[in-house]
Structure formats: C-alpha cells, structure tokens
Amino acid sequence: MAVAPNPFQLPNITKFKIALCQLSVTSDKNQNLDRASRMIRFSVKQGSKLVVLPEMWNCPYSSDCFAKYAEDFDNRDASPTLSMLSEAACCHGITIIGGSLPEWDHGRLYNTCCIFGPDGKLKARHRKIHLFDIDIPGEISFKESDTFTAGDQPTIVDTEVGRIGIGICHDIRFPELAALYRKRGVDIICYPGAFNMSTGELLWELVQRARAIDNQLFVATCSPSRNSTGSYTTWGHSTLVGPSGEIIVTSGHEETTVIAEIDYSNIQLQRKSLPLDDQKREDIYKFIDVHELNP
C-alpha cells in the first residue's frame, strides 16, 4: 500500500466530474460488459473524469454465480472484463474504479475492485476486506465467506483526480478503515456496493454520511440497479456525499448514470471551520485499555 504524507494537500486537479454508473446486472456477462461500456462512454460525453461502477456488475450477486463468472486477472487473455475496463480507461483518458468482480487467484476467489488510470494500466486492486455474512431471520441470510476469501490490505491509489481510498460495500461499516484512509491523506473514498432491501433502507445513506462526516472527505457509492427477479434484491441509490455529510447527488433504484461535480476545496473549507484533527484527544481514547476502566 502507498504510504502518503499526513497533511491534506490539494491535488493538481481540484474540480472535476464523477459518474456513478448504476447499471442493471443480468445473468448474461457479455450484455453486462456492453452495458457498462456504454455507460462509461455516456459518462465521458458528460465530461466525467472519474467513473465508478457497482459491486458485482458482470455477475449476479449470488453465491452460486461467483465462481462461474470469475476471471483470472493476471491472465488478461482470459479476462474480458479487465480488457474492457483497461481499453475504456485508455481510449477515454479517464480513471475508472471498476466496481467489483469475482476474481480467481491460485484457487481462491476474491471480491475485487480494479482501478485503471487514463493510460489503461491497472493501478491497484482492492480485495473486499470485510466479507458480508448476515443472518436476519425472516429477512435476509447471506454468507460471502462460504465462497470468498477476504482481502488483507487497505487500498490507497494516487490518480489524476486525487488520492482515492477503496472499500467494497460491507467495508463501509468499519470506520477504522475510513479513518486510516483519512490519516493517509485520501480525498475521496469510493465504495462500490450492493446493499439489500433490509439494510439499504435502514443504513445505506446513514453509513455513507457517517464516513464522510467523521473524516471530512468525499464518499462515493455505486450500486447495481434494483432487480427483483434474482435471489438478492439490491437497494440501488448510488450517492455522492460531501465532506460535511451533505448529499450532493443520489439516485433512485432504476438503471441510471449519476453525474456530479466534486470540488476538493470543500474539504479544506470544512476542516478549517471544524478542525476535528486538532480537536482530537487521542491521548484520552487511543491508549486506554478497557480493563483499566472496568477492572
């Protein structure tokens, strides 16, 4: 992982457009690739420099599909999805946060996000760190850990559009990861995600705004559109949140491309008016052992 200096420094580009491609995922991989490629093209026509795709966009979000749709990213001839992303990034000269995809690596399966730069090169890959295992009787039961291996690295990538931290869906529930990104000078955290109907309504907006406010940075999420025919119904509502927790733009649950402007000077403004970093009392809460409080 790249280690960055702590203080916030404005990147070369401070204002640009981001596109969140909330695409409709089908069981036909080629169709998903075509759709994504069209949405990327559309985003570029609207002036976007950073394009974000959803969690599991070339494959239905279903445990019995992950292995079937998985690709070996180190063998580009066997990875039509990575080839498409690389070509799109290069041909349009943009940065792509490639949502997430099932990845095969030495007999293991990962839920992985690939990041491409304007030269078409793969800049980084983030393997979902916190696997989504949930069991709410009568509502939802899902166990990613039955099929996936968890990643073990945070991912920070320096791009033409600033320093980006990556998380995948359930990773957003862990404030420690976002705090680490903040400490390493990240401007925006991108979370491709696929919250479901139960957790979506209750938490999706809340956790995004919480991560943005806690860390005074931008948070962008991108979900597949809702498809009620599969076994897992996604919530949708791809969103961009600003450094004071404000929702800059959000979508409904239908297929759509959401485009908005990011202005990084708002990070500085927010941190100047409310200097949380200076006010933090890590001397009090960082080093206290709970046993000292409750012997």
Ligand X SMILES: NC(=O)CC(=O)C(=O)O
Q: List the one residue from 19, 52, 194, 212 that touches ligand X (CB under 6 A).
A: 194
Look-up: residue for tokens 């943005």? Answer: 212
Return the number of the residue (199 or 225) whose C-beta is nearest ligand X: 199
Q: List the one residue from 112, 147, 199, 238 that touches ligand X (CB under 6 A).
A: 199
| Candidates 29, 114, 128, 190; catalytic one | 128
**Residues 163 to 182 in contact with ligand X, rule: CB under 6 A:** 169-170
183 tagged catalytic: no
- Interface characters, 100-139, with ligand X (x: CB under 6 A): --------------------------------x-------
- Interface characters, 30-69, with ligand X (x: CB under 6 A): -------------------------x--------------
Q: How far is the CB of 73 from ligand X (least distance, A)?
A: 20
| Candidates 49, 55, 59, 222; catalytic one | 55
55 tagged catalytic: yes
Report how many residues bind ligand X under the rule CB under 6 A: 8
Return the number of the residue (89 or 131) whose C-beta is nearest ligand X: 131
Q: List the one residue from 32, 43, 81, 196 that touches ligand X (CB under 6 A).
A: 196
Q: How far is the CB of 170 from ligand X (least distance, A)?
A: 3
Q: Give the per-residue SS3 of the chain.
A: CCCCCCCCCCCCCCEEEEEEEECCCCCCHHHHHHHHHHHHHHHHHCCEEEEECCCCCCCCCCHHHHHHHCECCCCHHHCHHHHHHHHHHHHHCCEEECCCEEEEECCEEEEEEEEECCCCCEEEEEECCCCCEEEECCCEEEEHHHCCCCCCCCEEEEECCEEEEECCHHHHHCHHHHHHHHHCCCCEEEEECCCEHHHHHHHHHHHHHHHHHHHCCEEEEECCCCCCCCCCCECCCCEEECCCCCEEEECCCCCEEEEEEEECHHHHHHHHHCCHHHHCCHHHHCCCCHHHHCC
Look-up: residue for tokens 């119904």? Answer: 233
| Candidates 21, 65, 113, 169; catalytic one | 169
169 tagged catalytic: yes
Is 16 among the residues that bind ligand X (CB under 6 A)? no
Could you list the active site residues?
Answer: 55, 128, 169
Chain residues in the site for ligand X (CB under 6 A): 55, 132, 169-170, 194-196, 199
